[in-house]
Amino acid sequence: MSATNLIDGRAIAEQLHSETSGRVEKLKLRGIIPKLVFVRVGEDPASRVYVGMKEKTSQRLGIDSITRVLPEATSQAELLELIGKLNSDSSVHGILVQAPLPRHIDSPTIYAAVSARKDVDGFHPLNVGKLMLGDTDGFLPCTPGGVHELLIRTGVPISGAEVVVLGRGNIVGKPMAAILIQKTKHANATVTVCHSGTRDIAKHCQRADILIAALGSPEFVKAEMVKEGAVVIDVGVNRVSDPAAKGGSRLVGDVDFKAVQPKCKWITPNPGGVGPMTIAVLMQNTVRAAELLN
């Protein structure tokens, strides 16, 4: 197959942005400006880049965004105090605590402290529970939500499909499985979740109509693991050494893209696939939070 089997995440993200922008304008007519607050602890280089990208997108869509940067040595109690203030600030509609947090801070405690109604990352236990129960009143985690939109808007048949999710993380793997297994439109799939304890992962992958790789292992998925005509979604972001690349390293996904692409009905490039959709769903969640809080 040729490059025509690429799923253009940037183009689909722009579709979502256009819809989100229209909703922002409707809120502004009511005197409401959606506001998103990013909380970043420390100076992790990747976190600085990710938050910067989210800020730029917020501004472009008319969403008010600010970033609160705290020192690496900030205590858990100090971070919880800030979150408490943001929870009680009626002008703030969405709160995103950027991962990773310093080791001395317990991430689950922090995510649970963010008001479920402002939890635009979808990590609060209440929103996680709603997702498992099929209650659409909560917020979807941004990356799995973005992958779901990619599948829907590309026209990939999901109902009855054999889906294999590589990775059981709380951010992508588990919620991805929960989204696709629901007895609803654009779901109703048969989902297998593979992980480090799975025997013969390749065998599971070979029967997948839809293969979603989110295990954080560079180019783990090889051509022989993918059946002809499968849809492959590469969520992974891994830095590998490459003396020929600028800075001596480059980013790759969890899929051996060049080898796998010819076998696929559809495949996401990396970059340009899942990444833009994560931000698009974050913006969507923020506007929805503003709508629900007003």
Is the same domain home to 269 and 188? yes
Domain assignment of residue 161, given as a range? 142-275
Q: Which residues contact 239 (CB under 8 A, 6 or more apart)?
A: 249, 250, 251
Is residue 291, in this structure, part of any structural domain at all?
Answer: no
Prediction pTM value: 0.95
Tens of pLDDT, residues 227-284: 999 999 999 988 888 888 888 888 899 999 999 999 999 999 998 999 999 999 999 9
Write out the catalytic residue numbers.
54, 98, 121
What CATH number is associated with residue 243? 3.40.50.720
CA-based end-to-end distance of the chain? 49
Q: Which residues contact 100 (CB under 8 A, 6 or more apart)?
A: 44, 47, 107
Is the same domain home to 147 and 262? yes
- ∠ CA 171-274-221 to the nearest 5 degrees? 85
Number of domains in the chain: 2
Tens of pLDDT, residues 118-147: 999 999 999 999 999 999 999 999 999 999
Is the same domain home to 176 and 213? yes
- ∠ CA 226-249-145 to the nearest 5 degrees? 50
Is residue 7, in this structure, part of any structural domain at all?
Answer: no
Is residue 64, in this structure, part of any structural domain at all?
Answer: yes
Q: Token pair for residue 212? A: 């979603």
pLDDT of residue 1: 39
What CATH number is associated with residue 86? 3.40.50.10860
DSSP for 161-179, please give it. Answer: -EEEEE---TTTHHHHHHH
Tens of pLDDT, residues 188-228: 999 999 999 999 999 999 999 999 999 999 999 999 999 99
Is the same domain home to 244 and 196? yes
With H, G, I as helix, E, B as strand and everything else as coil, classify residue 71.
coil
Is residue 40, in this structure, part of any structural domain at all?
Answer: yes
Is residue 124, in this structure, part of any structural domain at all?
Answer: no
pLDDT of residue 198: 97
Is residue 289, in this structure, part of any structural domain at all?
Answer: no
**Dihedral through CA 48, CA 120, CA 59, CA 44, nearest 10?**
0
Does the pLDDT at position 2 exceed 70? no
Is the same domain home to 151 and 254? yes
pLDDT of residue 29: 97
